[in-house]
Chain A
């Protein structure tokens, strides 16, 4: 076990625990946008920064990636930390003026939009946190989406923005997206995502449309469970 301090509170945690988890399991809240329990971490959004003091040196670190250390003193909301968080939120507000998630978070932390930043109109609600890419790669295992370009022009999408042949329409990307940027439209029989329309399968028992056919085929192929058994929705199984 490692002993350390977060916001004045003495804390013990197992070696290898990230500061974010250690704080949260002790009732200390650190705001995040890109850290999701289902996917690996990138440290891209920078909202979860905290100050870590080791001896005389104090530095800003990313709590979602920083493993706890013996004797370290963490402060999660001092002025230096808030200065970074404020800037990050103001930058995200200007990038995604439509995002209610970012607006709510800004309100919660008492951050106002910076009038000197002209709001963008072309970035949608995407903060480039890459949770969607990671869930598609690490959990689903198809890697249908990825980045194009770099810097401010960086964007999420299918390769060359063409219809993806490997996308199974599972919607995990839309589900994990913290800001609701990824558009997915599901009617009874169809689901539209990333420009493709997927045919939905109805449950053999209750008749409810419950999953895209492509997704069921993919699961069957990957797990060896015959399609017949997958034709029943989770409620009726």
Chain B
């Protein structure tokens, strides 16, 4: 790879990137993040490859990261000179010949695009990319632009600015979109103090969960005594349902690396580590390639961009322990020890990795840094709300129509995320609550739909921002069962170092299991609340301290459900198996026998064309009968 040491070198690398981003002729891009591959994007890619080869078409085919719309993966985009960029969802290998036919013809036949992009902001470069010149071709006039699609309308992409656009394996494409220009600006035109000042001014707070002001952390690390300092990227995303950091590492690894180099220069570090879990093989592969490319371009290593600044990054693969997302446990793991937290009375910015001053930030925080440097702290601070500036990436999952990766300005009302971006709840069911912050967070009930999604408002509501998992629940979710699920997760993920977390959370789990099994006792809720206070106060690390949150928040907002389980031995959402009963309505049953045939425990009996009956003593409450009944004759209570 060509050495990059001047602004001109960056420009010529960027020109090369522009050519590969927008080659002559047709370019087809396939979203190949893990979410895409899981939906079959690799098969679509192969089908496209062989179709292009077979028909000897002058098309370019490339891969990109997550485009965000996971609910209609695999996604394919088509870029043609002077025409809008066009996206197609739910692609399959079978549809490929048809799609190619449409492109060749320049028309829409059976496969309708989901949106078109006429122009877009290249945020790190302060430029606009115009795809369309002249007027919109007639066949695309009915297709909404990306910014008109409800899923994208309220989104602002900063941390995920390149995800789903560039080929994550191409450093030139990253540079073409303004990449490493911020690094050049930082190293050649800014002092370390100036950078820190700008980051402080931006109001950026740690995106990993705690929300600590990033600039302040950098400043403390810069001021800490020591010749050797480290920067670390925390990529140990481990909450159930969260994949924001994975998407950024997979889709735009250079944004993280550039952020880290700038951070290292600001705090005075020469070595950096990216701690990423090994369950993220694509993220590991893309980061490895990106680091190697940055190194051979001399953007990592000695005399970066022709200055006297030296810095390099190593990847450390974690074995997938939730606790290793906690900074001190992560550092212990990096040192080759068991991943256990330590008391943080002595801060890691002073005594961190190998007892040296260490600045740790999470993936999304690092990815924001180049944009802050490019556009200035003030620009960033004007996005969002006063104490929570900028944007936040969420993985929107659960009982929601539009499952996907979204990036929204801080302070957006929760209902905008659920209804506008998320498209509401599937199956006409009622929205019940959202769990934010993963197992360390809490639930926000539907009655608080107008809540501003920012660090402080979520904290006050008894939840937390966390790293950005957002799990939506409908009326068919039992909140006691939900609390039990998260607590069970925390029991299996507790490192076991301190007594309150190791023993206390497991005892809470026992009580919750009892409640779900109909063995709850009056006073259990009060007992859980009292234990929660002791565990929060007494635990050694923040993960133990936040472990009772799912229980506390479900008690706070859904106390009646706990009472129904304990006092009436009833599960209002009809989830807890020990407390529910499937029954066939004699009036509605047509005697079609489908349920009897499907029942795995053979407990449904009856004569053909006559009402059937369930033997409650044999029923295992799997619900298959209810799912298979076409006449809504089976109910569960």
Contacts and interface: CB of A to CB of B under 8 A. Distances in A.
B537 A91 contact: no
**Main SS of the interface on chain A?**
mixed
Interface string A199-218: 00000000000000000000
Given A60-B538, A88-B538, A152 B499 contact: no
B499 A60 contact: no
Contact of A87 (B342, B496, B531): B531
B491 interface: yes
Nearest to B503: A91
Contact of B507 (A42, A80, A94, A127): A94
Interface string A11-22: 000000000000
B537 A84 contact: yes
Contacts of A67: 345-346
A84 B500 contact: yes
A65 B503 contact: no
Interface string B490-503: 01111111111011
B603 interface: no
B22 to A, nearest CB: 50
B209 to A, nearest CB: 19
A80 to B, nearest CB: 7
Contacts of A46: 498-500, 538-540
Given A49-B537, A65-B345, A84-B537, A127 B499 contact: yes
A94 B503 contact: yes
Contact of B500 (A66, A87, A118, A127): A87
B534 interface: yes
A154 B506 CA distance: 13
B540 A44 contact: yes
Interface residues of B, number: 36
**Main SS of the interface on chain B?**
helix
B498 A118 contact: no
Contacts of B346: 67
A95 interface: yes
Nearest to B523: A116
Given A46-B538, A116-B527, A152-B494, A91 B499 contact: yes
B478 interface: no
Nearest to B346: A67
B492 A151 contact: yes
B544 to A, nearest CB: 10
A80 B530 CA distance: 11
Contacts of B540: 43-44, 46, 62
A127 to B, nearest CB: 7
Contacts, number: 102
Contact of B537 (A44, A80, A152, A153): A80
A8 B323 CA distance: 38
Contact of A128 (B338, B492, B496, B511): B496
Interface in B505-537: 506-507, 510-511, 521, 524, 527, 530-531, 533-535, 537
Nearest to B504: A91
Nearest to B539: A46
A152 B502 contact: yes
A62 B502 contact: no
A80 B533 CA distance: 9
Contacts of A149: 496
Contact of A150 (B496, B527, B531, B539): B496
A43 B537 contact: no
A95 B502 CA distance: 11
Contact of A152 (B338, B503, B521, B527): B503
A61 interface: yes
Contacts of A88: 499-500, 534, 538
A106 B475 CA distance: 45
B321 interface: yes
Given A46-B540, A62-B343, A151 B507 contact: no
Contacts of B530: 83, 87
Interface string A150-173: 111110000000000000000000
B507 A117 contact: yes
Contacts of B504: 87, 91
A86 B531 CA distance: 10
A151 B491 contact: yes
A196 to B, nearest CB: 24
A66 B502 CA distance: 22
B506 A87 contact: no
B503 A60 contact: no
B524 to A, nearest CB: 8
Contacts of A118: 510
Interface in B293-329: 321, 323
A80 B539 CA distance: 14
Chain A interface size band reads 20 to 34
A135 interface: no
Interface in A74-91: 80, 83-84, 86-88, 91
Contacts of B533: 83
A118 B507 CA distance: 9
Given A94-B503, A151-B493, A84 B338 contact: no
Contacts of A153: 496
Contacts of A144: none
B496 A152 contact: yes
A91 B500 contact: yes
Given A60-B537, A118-B510, A154 B496 contact: yes
A46 B521 CA distance: 29
A22 to B, nearest CB: 14
Contacts of A43: 342-343, 498, 540
A175 to B, nearest CB: 23
A121 B539 CA distance: 24
Contacts of A49: 537-538
A101 B424 CA distance: 57
A151 B494 contact: yes
Nearest to A153: B496
Q: Which of A49, A87, A128 is most buried by chain B, counting CB atoms within 10 A of its CB? A: A87
A159 B492 CA distance: 22
A177 interface: no
Contacts of B338: 147, 150
Q: Which of B497, B499, B540 is most buried by chain A, counting CB atoms within 10 A of its CB? A: B499
Q: Which of B321, B343, B510, B530 is most buried by chain A, counting CB atoms within 10 A of its CB? A: B343
Nearest to A149: B496
A43 B540 CA distance: 7
A134 B537 CA distance: 26
A60 B538 CA distance: 7
Contacts of B493: 151
A94 B506 CA distance: 12
A101 B557 CA distance: 41
A92 interface: yes
Contacts of A136: none
A182 interface: no
A92 B500 contact: no
A80 B527 CA distance: 16
Contacts of A60: 537-538
| 4 nearest A-B residue pairs (beta carbon) | A87-B534, A154-B496, A91-B503, A84-B538
18 contacts: A45-B499, A46-B499, A49-B537, A62-B343, A62-B345, A66-B343, A84-B500, A87-B535, A94-B507, A95-B503, A116-B524, A118-B510, A147-B496, A150-B496, A151-B492, A151-B506, A152-B494, A152-B503
Given A84-B534, A151-B495, 13 more contacts: A43-B498, A44-B498, A46-B539, A46-B540, A67-B346, A87-B535, A88-B534, A91-B507, A94-B503, A127-B499, A150-B495, A151-B494, A154-B496
Interface of A: 42-46, 49, 60-62, 65-67, 80, 83-84, 86-88, 91-92, 94-95, 116-118, 127-128, 147, 149-154
